[in-house]
Amino acid sequence: MRKVVLIVDDEFIILESLRIQLERFLPEEVSVESAHSGEEAIDLLKEFQEDDSEPLVVISDFNLGDSKGTDILKEVKQLFPSAKRILLSGQAGSDAEIEDFIKEFGLDLFLSKPWDLSELRQNTEAFISGKY
């Protein structure tokens, strides 16, 4: 079974930054996959089911242009209930939609952009190792 961390953001520079940062500390047996849209993320999740891949962590931006990150994370919870879900947002202040999502569907971690690399690393490593 292939172990994966999926990152979803419609901004290329964010995807690349996250991918580079994650690949520096993730174990070799965990690969990083990225999606530039909500539609692409859903397609990848379906491919993961078909090819016996296991997304350990899914990191999604809140605003994806074609959809909301919360929609992607709902799908993740349905398809891969054990996957940890991280939501990123560059929105200033508190957003009622995000708060409602957290109350209804839960969330493993919420990070504001720009994210703190040490917090991302500590939590991602804990999620992957099963210590969280």
What pTM was computed for the model?
Answer: 0.92
Amino acid 29: pLDDT: 94
Task: Write out pLDDT tens, residues 38-93.
Answer: 999 999 999 999 999 999 999 999 989 888 899 999 999 999 999 999 999 876 44
In words, the CATH class of domain 2-129 is alpha beta
Q: Band of the pLDDT at 94, cuts 50, 70, 90?
A: low
What does the block give as tokens for 2?
Answer: 């292939």
Domain ranges of the chain: 2-129
Residue 21 burial by CB count (10 A; 0-12/13-18/19+): exposed, middle or buried? middle
Q: What are the Cα distances from residue 117, in Å, to 6, 17, 35, 108, 114? A: 17, 11, 20, 16, 9
Q: Which two tokens stand for residue 106?
A: 């839960």
